[in-house]
């Protein structure tokens, strides 16, 4: 069977469209003002069940949180977009109790893992060792296609942990730590505190992130990755600003600037990639046009930066879309190479649909 076609509610074109979004990628990219109501409704409906703010708050006179690119201005008595910080009587408070306490769960993942960077990482040669996988229960984005959406059900009461306690979960076979989720961008202070302890114990520090954290926090993450032999993996969702906001609820401006900031330091370690990029190939939305533009952005910074293209599986607010097809993945791979990237890989091939 081929991919399912439906009809865009804005332009009427028969194309691949998620019913929850109702409009196609071309309308979002080329005519964003025409589809604002559809996009807003999809974002709102995906957040209401979790009692999360429907958009990054912009309250006049609200308390500003500077920890990520959303830069929420939070009104009194309400929370920021990530759900972890709130305004209480004019003060910004961390709902886990302290920034040194993270909302997360962890596990030991035997090496080699299915890590985005496994194909260019020394960890793939460390059989018998493990990765301390840290899954954070918050995110600065709201991806409608989220493959790990269950993080929204985590709570500080049940799954809070101090940095020292998390670091102690590493054992004699722990080769590296990787922060993901959710996303570490929402809990960088906790992740950095944990990383400093682990780095002193000889553990490699790796990050898998949307890259929206404050630039100064990114610099600290890059320092730790460089010094320990780890890496930082940016999940680039989309290049077009309107498509990115429709799919994630947030701007990609900080992400792209931070990616360039990290790319400026790749020459500091030539033997092992510091920076790796990935993109989830969401059928109907993240296509060869989008991947080509992302790849051109990456290639202009450094054509040797590894780029992994990942297969999509129906999840969260886009459960009606098919899996990424082989044709879709191969078209995106070619687009990335045509844009000038040298190291491009289709990951998660086992998830791809054989449909052409």
Query: Mean per-residue pLDDT for 271-294?
Result: 97
Instruction: Tell me the pLDDT band of 2, cut-offs 50, 70 and 90.
Output: very low
pLDDT at 241 over 80: yes
Q: What are 66's two structure tokens?
A: 């500077």
Q: Which run of H or E residues covers position 335?
A: helix 326-338
For residue 1, the model assigns a pLDDT of 37
Which one is predicted more confidently, 352 or 158?
A: 352
Query: Mean per-residue pLDDT for 276-300?
Result: 98
pLDDT at 202 over 80: yes
The span from the CA of 92 to the CA of 81, in Å, is: 13
Instruction: Tell me the pLDDT band of 95, cut-offs 50, 70 and 90.
Output: confident
pLDDT at 356 over 70: no
Query: Mean per-residue pLDDT for 237-266?
Result: 98
DSSP secondary structure code for residue 150 in this structure: G
For residue 6, the model assigns a pLDDT of 87
Contact present, 62 and 87 (Cβ < 8 Å): yes
pLDDT tens digits, one per residue of 135-173: 999 999 999 999 999 999 886 656 789 999 999 999 999
pLDDT at 3 over 80: no
Query: Mean per-residue pLDDT for 264-283?
Result: 96
Q: What is the mean pLDDT of the chain?
A: 94
Which one is predicted more confidently, 237 or 157?
A: 237
pLDDT at 292 over 50: yes
Q: What are 208's two structure tokens?
A: 């898998």
The span from the CA of 151 to the CA of 137, in Å, is: 5
For residue 53, the model assigns a pLDDT of 93
Contact present, 226 and 268 (Cβ < 8 Å): yes
Query: Mean per-residue pLDDT for 42-47?
Result: 96
Burial of 246 (0-12, 13-18, 19+ CB in 10 A): buried
Which one is predicted more confidently, 210 or 96?
A: 210
Asked if omega into 112 is within 30° of 0 (cis), the reply is: yes
Residue 302, C-beta contacts closer than 8 angstroms, at least 6 positions apart: 263, 266
Query: Mean per-residue pLDDT for 195-215?
Result: 98
The span from the CA of 81 to the CA of 87, in Å, is: 12
For residue 114, the model assigns a pLDDT of 84
Contact present, 16 and 5 (Cβ < 8 Å): yes
Is the pTM here over 0.75, yes or no? Answer: yes
- Can you say how many angstroms the Cα of residue 17 is from the centroid of all Cα atoms in its chain? 22
pLDDT tens digits, one per residue of 4-19: 678 999 999 999 999 9
Domain limits of the chain? 52-95, 101-351
- Estimate the crossing angle of helix 288-301 against helix 326-338, to 10 degrees: 30
The fold for domain 101-351 equals TIM Barrel (3.20.20)
The span from the CA of 264 to the CA of 144, in Å, is: 31
Query: Mean per-residue pLDDT for 219-247?
Result: 98
The span from the CA of 114 to the CA of 110, in Å, is: 10
Q: What are 242's two structure tokens?
A: 């309107």
The CB density around residue 35, as the number of other CB atoms within 10 Å, is: 24
For residue 122, the model assigns a pLDDT of 85
Lowest pLDDT segment from 23-37, 154-168, 329-343:
154-168
Which one is predicted more confidently, 96 or 16?
A: 16
pLDDT at 111 over 60: yes
The CB density around residue 51, as the number of other CB atoms within 10 Å, is: 9
């Amino acid at each position: 069977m081929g991919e399912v076609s439906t009809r865009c509610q804005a332009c009427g074109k028969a194309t691949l469209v998620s019913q929850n979004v109702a409009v196609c990628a071309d309308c979002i990219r080329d005519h964003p003002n025409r589809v604002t109501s559809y996009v807003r409704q999809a974002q709102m409906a995906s957040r209401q069940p979790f009692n999360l703010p429907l958009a990054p708050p912009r309250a006049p006179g609200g308390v500003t949180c500077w920890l990520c690119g959303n830069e929420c201005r939070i009104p009194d008595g309400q929370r920021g977009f990530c759900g972890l910080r709130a305004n209480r009587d004019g003060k910004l408070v961390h709902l886990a109790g302290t920034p040194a306490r993270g909302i997360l769960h962890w596990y030991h993942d035997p090496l080699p893992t299915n890590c985005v960077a496994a194909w260019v990482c020394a960890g793939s040669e460390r059989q018998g060792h493990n990765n301390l996988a840290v899954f954070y229960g918050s995110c600065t984005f709201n991806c409608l296609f989220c493959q790990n959406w269950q993080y929204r059900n985590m709570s500080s009461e049940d799954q809070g942990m101090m940095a020292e306690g998390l670091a102690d979960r590493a054992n004699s076979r722990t080769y590296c730590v990787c922060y993901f989720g959710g996303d570490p961008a929402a809990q960088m202070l906790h992740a950095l505190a944990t990383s400093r302890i682990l780095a002193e114990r000889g553990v490699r520090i790796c990050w898998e992130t949307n890259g929206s954290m404050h630039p100064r926090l990114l610099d600290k993450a890059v320092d730790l990755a460089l010094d320990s032999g780890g890496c930082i993996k940016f999940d680039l969702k989309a290049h077009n600003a309107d498509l990115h906001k429709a799919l994630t609820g947030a701007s990609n401006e900080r992400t792209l600037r931070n990616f360039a900031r990290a790319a400026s330091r790749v020459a500091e370690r030539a033997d092992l990639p510091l920076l790796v990029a990935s993109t989830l190939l969401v059928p109907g939305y993240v296509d060869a046009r989008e991947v080509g533009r992302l790849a051109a952005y990456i290639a202009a910074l450094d054509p040797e930066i590894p780029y992994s293209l990942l297969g999509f599986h129906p999840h969260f607010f886009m459960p009606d879309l098919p899996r990424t097809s082989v044709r879709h993945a191969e078209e995106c791979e070619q687009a990335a190479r045509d844009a000038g990237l040298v190291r491009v890989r289709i990951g998660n091939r086992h998830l791809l649909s054989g449909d052409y």
